[in-house]
Amino acid sequence: HDKYGYDPARFESNMLDQFICPICTNVSREPKECVVCGSLFCNSCVTDWLKKKTECPRSRCDLKNNPMRKIGGALARIYNNLDIKCIHPSCKKNYIKLSDLEAHEEKC
């Protein structure tokens, strides 16, 4: 399975824009948030980026003392409740909650 973002075409929601990673242009996987500007990125994308630079990929915020953090609270609940299609074409379920996707796809 891909360590970078999810293909936006797999989602039902029109709320995806706020979850798009500007590095890979997919829906953020294991989202990390810039503590300065609030932009979201895939954990893998931003980890790779920060190996080379110390600034936010979107807004060029200085991240030397303000690293990325995992999303939490209401934003994490919204993200985990996004409806996504299973990767398996033969799956009978239309959509699965993003928080349940990994467990579902292992059994599907």
Using alpha carbons, select from 32, 36, 35, 12 the residue that is nearest to residue 22: 32
Q: Contact at 8 Å (CB) between 19 and 82?
A: yes
Query: CA–CA separation, 71 vs 9, rounded Å?
Result: 23
Q: What is the pLDDT of residues 31-69, one digit of tens each?
A: 999 998 999 999 999 999 999 988 999 888 888 876 889
The answer to whether the Cα torsion of 59, 60, 65, 70 is positive or negative is positive
Can you tell me the mean pLDDT for 24-28?
95
Could you say which DSSP state residue 42 is in?
-
Can you tell me the mean pLDDT for 86-90?
92
What is the pLDDT, as a whole number, of residue 67? 80
Q: What is the pLDDT of residues 94-108, one digit of tens each?
A: 899 999 999 999 999
Residue 61 Rama label (left phi>0; alpha psi -120 to 50; beta): beta
Q: What is the pTM of this model?
A: 0.88
Is residue 1's pLDDT more than 70?
Answer: no
